[in-house]
A and B are shown apart, each in its own frame.
Chain A
């Protein structure tokens, strides 16, 4: 991103090709079909994403099988995926697991595991939160015990994005040295995976019970939270980009309807009550873009602002998305409350995104702490 804070021509081309791909492969009818399945994604589309567009490997360094682009390109791609409600394990595998590996400092693991994620053959996820729903380090209670060359893990993880389909689980567990990260095969003995019922069925979540499941240490024992904490900052920035894409689409839907819907002999968008709602949506969406793009820039630069702007972006973009999704239903009136209309899909994604990784209240408190207040 250049000094004038516009996307480069190349980045805009990326946006256009991702949008075109998603319009073809992830139209509303496909979203509705996939959200009713347990698997929750289309493996054929997933492999096309990898092979035709190289999206899974976009921001993974070339030495690990990716194409070495940066976080700004991720922002562009995630905005588009948020707009189309793409049903795929992209966020869990590419944003969370790949970044956790990159942050782990474990060169052997990176060399071994990242190329599979980059090509899309491996679907990975991060399992760190437990049923307590505590998002910080204190929530990790699963334990890892040394066993021969490796470890075994016991404990229960929950709210694991795409945890039921991932074939590589990156699990946070405690040893005597503290929180550490482990790689666990999704089908290993002792691993029981339960698909959860979710408000948002376009993004699956699973509970994962580990009973002496065999595991391999990633990075340094006891230093797992250093890598995971940074990954979470990156993840909320990526989520903010997704939220911006969803918010923009909700606003576009609402504005179009306000122009088309006739009542009292004129378009409802000519009434100030509706017009001002739309104007407020624009204020919020533009502000959310500022927050997400700025945070994306901090993540791309990997600078010391990332911890604060990550909280800022997560808090602001969460509220924007929920508000625009709710207002979209309100402006549509009765038809917006029907199952057939797509408004509820975004409303459910918005509320879920607002809560994942900690709600705005959590992130505002974290922001104060990080600012030293």
Chain B
């Protein structure tokens, strides 16, 4: 999408300030080669430099550009939505990472702490989230509680100034690297499920926390299971009131959808520095572009990709500064997830048998194509299944009545569970 709308003077000034900052901090030749369209010069500039996504993330995070919407005192710019948009546009133009390496910290934990945390928690955690000094993970899903997250069983029992936690979490991305986790646990089993939850910050090095890699159908272990055995959490690490955990959890979930919906989560979004436009890479992977049926499909992917980006732009523009993302992020997330699956499946077909069999050690593009194809299967499950999100769209956006809840009003301990 080439959407360029003329900046107002205020926006032009911010854009100039940000690109000026980039020019000051990026290696010599990086921006110039992109501006002149010289890909070879870009590769040369990049390889001659010591640029890497981790130090870059720290630099961006320390200067407010990692979270323009966050308050200044916590490391943001106290900015508005359009600032975030401009930052993203310029990052994309200069082939820089669009999301933080600490994506769950910046996208999920930070907004939750800003909304529900104590002043001490804000001071302690937010800046180090932005610089990536402290990586965060999310301890929500459990083997027995996926879509029905509020039915979760991990329990926290108060013991003086501490809570003692026992249970099992699953689908924990980057749990093995994380310093902190966002944890929701049951503090009262005798009342209805939503009312008995409390939200905590868990330091992952606490005794009793056991992170075990879980192998996915891609073959890699991106997620983990986390076993919690007599884990002690200080009460100072509680976010929000006892029994008010569901409200804070919903903030996290809404932000999760917004994070997952706004961007395509490919490698270059996170690591940066790739020179190829993803659309061009997609086209190059298709051998025969003269076949009329293939052309129909290429056009349809082009159309849906454009439409998806425009819708995300409309949604992010409509959102006011500082307010929490609304249900429009569910719309984007469903579309994005299903689009990724269709597109990556089509890429396999377009490459033919070369996408399902290759000589040992000669994987190359076939290997990454396979991984993209397999990984996309999780897109309609993670961060809310497409079915649950369609319920939310139906109920919260269109105002349709809820389905019958057989567990409504029952104490959690009386609910039928796995």
What is A's interface to B at a CB cutoff of 8 Å? 2-6, 255, 258-259, 266-267, 269-272, 274-276, 278-280, 282-283, 286-287, 289-291, 293-294, 305, 309, 311-312, 315-316, 361, 364-365, 367-368, 371, 373
Contacts and interface: CB of A to CB of B under 8 A. Distances in A.
Contacts of A371: 302
5 contacts: A5-B314, A255-B398, A290-B310, A312-B307, A373-B289
A110 to B, nearest CB: 29
Nearest to B402: A270
Contact of B334 (A283, A309, A311): A283
A291 B307 contact: yes
A259 B400 contact: yes
B393 interface: yes
A270 B47 CA distance: 58
A294 B390 contact: no
B400 A364 contact: no
Nearest to B86: A3
A270 B334 CA distance: 20
Given A4-B318, A6-B317, A294-B3, A279 B393 contact: yes
A295 to B, nearest CB: 10
Nearest to B2: A305
Nearest to A367: B299
Given A5-B317, A259-B399, A282-B398, A312 B295 contact: no
Nearest to B8: A3
A278 B398 contact: yes
A343 to B, nearest CB: 18
B335 A258 contact: no
Q: Which 8 pairs across A and B sit closest by C-beta, in order of nearness? A: A364-B299, A275-B394, A290-B310, A4-B317, A279-B390, A269-B400, A279-B393, A270-B401
Contacts of B404: 266, 270
Contacts of A4: 81-82, 317-318
A315 B299 contact: yes
Nearest to A309: B306
Nearest to B3: A294
Contacts of B402: 270
A286 B401 contact: no
B295 to A, nearest CB: 5
A293 B397 CA distance: 21
B226 to A, nearest CB: 31
B331 A315 contact: no
Contacts of B314: 5, 286, 289-290, 293
A291 B310 CA distance: 7
B384 to A, nearest CB: 13
A364 B403 CA distance: 39
Nearest to B317: A4
A364 B401 CA distance: 38
Contacts of A365: 292, 295-296, 299
B303 A279 contact: no
Contact of B299 (A269, A275, A279, A368): A368
B308 interface: yes
